Amino acid sequence: MHPEPSPTPTPPPTLMVTCVPAFDDNYLWLIHGDGAAAHHVAAVDPGDADAINAVLDAHHLTLDAILVTHHHGDHVGGVTALASRYHVPVYGPANEDIPARSIAVQGGDTVALPTLGLSFQVIDVPGHTAGHVAYVGHHALFCGDTLFSGGCGRLFEGTPAQMLHSLAHLAALAPETRVYCAHEYTAANLKFALAVEPGNRALAAYAGEVAALRARRLPTIPTTIGRERAINPFLRSRLATVRDTAARHAGRAPADDADAFGQLREWKNEFRG
């Protein structure tokens, strides 16, 4: 007798992401898998219900869930209307006030989206806000306003130490991880990054790529963790060259790594390059 052949394993679903521009520079995200369930989607940080509804209706998509990273209005402004229309679960950070939230999440939790064939791990990333979270899975990161290409979010509620720790957590992800942040800030961020590291060749080359994309009105997102490690001063704040440049601008030596990061962030806040 011949042994029964082993069943062919089912390949994991491929994550598909649709960018939905909103307001002046926001990116809202619709995510779904491939194959038979491709018409089932989840919305990430849907600050504008009309923009999401327009894409759902135009492409006959079914909204099955909403994922929220933090409480700012440009990320949650459309949540109540969408949740009411589609009667879907709303996942949001446990330590923030999220409208229509039905499932509170925090670092270490898993968000399973069975109708999409997808699941994501939750990471706590306080700094921009006190309870900010990110979602990672399928070689993709949805990080709201924590990490931008070439930059990071302002510290509205958190401390430099918190943001430094949060960014270190994200930087430890696999280098091929695609980064889906929530704003088109890349060109402005790179002007600052070049002021910090004018001799960074990878940064200079990337700035040229970004300029070409924006000249054609194309998005610069997603970026990747590997690229950000090479060009983003906020992921490189422990390097002597970055640290020393920020200290010279601040006019004093930093007390520790968190203080050095804070000097860099304060410089960016006032930068008009």
Marked catalytic residue, from 71, 72, 132, 138: 72
Report how far apart, in Å, the C-alpha atoms of 234 and of each of 168, 226, 265 are.
Answer: 9, 14, 8
Reply yes or no on whether 259 is catalytic.
no
Is 75 annotated as catalytic?
A: yes
Q: Residue 71 catalytic? A: no
Q: Which of these is catalytic: 40, 75, 138, 165?
A: 75
Contacts of 146 (CB under 8 A, 6+ apart): 69, 125, 127, 128, 132, 134, 152, 153, 163, 166, 167, 170, 181
Task: Say if residues 89 and 63 touch (Cβ distance below 8 Å).
Answer: no
Which one is catalytic: 45, 71, 183, 259?
A: 183
One DSSP character per residue, 180-197 reads EESB--HHHHHHHHHHH-
Burial (0-12, 13-18, 19+ Cβ within 10 Å), 32: buried
Compute CA distances 88 → 65, 133, 136, whole Å: 5, 20, 21
Catalytic residue among 71, 128, 132, 138: 128
Catalytic residue among 70, 71, 132, 165: 70
Q: Rounded distance, CA 6 to CA 62, Å?
A: 35
Among this protein's residues, is 2 annotated catalytic?
no
Look up 74 and say whether it is catalytic. Answer: yes
- Active-site option among 45, 48, 74, 109: 74
Cα 193 from Cα 187, distance rounded (Å): 10
Given 45, 145, 165, 259, which residue is catalytic?
Answer: 145
Q: Which residues participate in catalysis according to the annotation?
A: 70, 72, 74-75, 128, 145, 183
